[in-house]
A and B are shown apart, each in its own frame.
Chain A
Amino acid sequence: MLIRLNGEETECRDGSTLLDILNEKDIDPETIVAEVDEVILKPDEFTTCELHDGSVVEILRFVGGG
């Protein structure tokens, strides 16, 4: 299926969860915050939130800033 991940069209396996995406990208879940279809996920929702075709996923982290 096709999702929009951080602004880019991205292929992923049907039934993927947010955690699956993080694992594929080698991202430590404790270092990020995620939003799916403009809903901020709690960390314990990473394994339960199933993505669907067209899901808009934002994965963000803190960076240096003033």
Chain B
Amino acid sequence: MNDNLTINGIEIDSRLFLGTGKFGDDSLIPECIKESGARIVTVAMRRVDFNSDTDNITKHIPKDCILMPNTHGARNADEAVRIARLGRAAGCGDWVKIEVISDNKYLLPDNDETLKATEILVKDGFIVMPYMTPDLYAARRMRDAGAASVMPFGAPIGTNKGFKTREVVEIMCNELDIPVVVDAGIGKPSEAAECMEAGAAAVLVNTAIATASDPVLMAKAFGEAVRAGRNAYLAGPGAVKNTAEGSTPLTGFLR
């Protein structure tokens, strides 16, 4: 059975997206990508620091990965559009993760500005994946504007708190006809599996892998967890009940 993820008509054989921030050693990134099986990899765009010898992160990302720049740093739609266009001019293709955040404490995405940026960038030919605060109505508007998916957070960025937004995101998964990719806050492979069991199309993980004691092993664990969660979803779990129901037949007792 072909269960590949399809985004904008493009088939992707992994439902785990990998972020490349916060790695203590960027040279671990290629092995993390390989062990996790991730095919979509996010990067950010920043001013070159002329006083430091910072590497170009893309040299650590295999050429057969889909590079998806985020618009982190954008505080409004105009800034997101500018960053997206710079990313495309830098040669990464048409994919973009819109990230519009003006709240520095919780890093919550601004759905209104994200929608505005989505409308402009879709018309500009981008494959747009908006990072958003979970909200079914906002997601529908982004879908209607042409977003290729929506990316609601599981918990605030970098918190590793897990799938705190499960109730709303599960509703979004049930009601939307575009992929729902849980992005941010997922701290453990079991939480990534939970996202997939709830019906998410994919999960994006960065902090939990990059800051693990063994990022490569953690990347492998997340890859396995996403596949396990997806298989569990497809298998159709049994019903949850309030009272016990024995697993063994209630006949033929030895009395």
Cβ of B108 under 8 Å from chain A: no
Which one of A32, A58, A63 lies within 8 Å of B44 (CB-CB)? A63
Taking a contact as CB atoms under 8 Å apart, the answer to whether B47 and A64 are in contact is no
The answer to whether B44 and A62 have CB atoms under 8 Å apart is yes
Total A-B residue pairs with C-beta atoms closer than 8 Å? Answer: 96
Q: Could you say which interface size class chain B belongs to?
A: 35 or more
The complex places the Cα of A19 from the Cα of B148 at a distance, in Å, of 37
CB pair A61 B90 closer than 8 Å:
yes
A62 touches B69 (CB 8 A): yes
Asked if A59 is at the interface (CB within 8 A of a chain B CB), the reply is: yes
B26 and A61 within 8 A (CB)? no
Q: CB-CB contacts of A48-66 with B at 8 A, as 1s and 0s?
A: 0000000000111111111
- Encode B191-221 as 1/0 by CB contact (under 8 A) with A: 0000000000000101100100000000000
- A6 lies within 8 A of chain B by Cβ: yes
Instruction: Known contacts A40-B85, A65-B19, A65-B21; decide if A60 and B92 are in contact (CB<8 Å).
Output: no
**A26–B67 Cα gap in the complex (Å)?**
26
- A20 part of interface (Cβ distance < 8 Å): no
- Closest CB in chain B relative to A38 CB, distance in Å: 8
Complex Cα distance, B216 from A6, in Å, reads: 35
CA distance A62 to B43 in the complex (A): 6
B118 close to A (CB within 8 Å): no
* Contact across chains for B47 and A6 when beta carbons are under 8 A apart: yes
The one of A41, A59, A65 in contact with B20, judged by C-beta atoms closer than 8 angstroms, is A65
Whether A65 lies near B48 (C-beta < 8 A) is no
Q: Chain B residues with Cβ under 8 A from A6's Cβ?
A: 47-48, 50
Cβ–Cβ contact A66 & B90, under 8 A: no
Mark contacts of B90-116 with chain A using CB atoms, 8 A cut-off: 1 yes-contact digit, 0 otherwise: 111000000000000000000000000
Residues from chain A with Cβ under 8 Å of B26 in the complex: 64
B168 at the interface (CB under 8 A from A): no
Residues A64 and B50 in contact, CB atoms below 8 Å apart? no
A64-B26, A66-B70, A66-B184 are known contacts. Are A40 and B50 too (CB-CB below 8 A)? Answer: no
Taking the nearest CB of chain A, how far is it from the CB of B151, in angstroms?
11
| B42, B48, B87, B210 — most chain A CB neighbours (10 Å) | B48
Query: CB-CB < 8 A to B42: which residues of A?
Result: 65-66
Q: Which residues on the A side are within 8 Å of B69 (C-beta)?
A: 62, 65
Q: Would you give the 0/1 interface string for B1-26, flagging 1 where the beta carbon is closer than 8 Å to chain A?
A: 00000000000000000011111001
Q: Report if B63 contacts A (CB, 8 A).
A: no
Cα–Cα, bound, A51→B20 (Å): 34
9 contacts between A and B (CB under 8 A): A40-B85, A40-B86, A61-B90, A62-B44, A63-B43, A64-B23, A64-B26, A65-B43, A66-B206
Q: Please tell me if B57 contacts chain A, counting CB pairs below 8 Å.
A: yes
CB contact list, B12-57 vs A, under 8 A: 19-23, 26, 29, 42-48, 50, 54, 56-57
Write out the residue numbers on chain A whose beta carbons fall within 8 Å of the beta carbon of B45. 33, 60-63, 65
Q: Quick check: is B227 within 8 A (CB to CB) of the other chain?
A: no
B141 at interface, CB cutoff 8 A: no
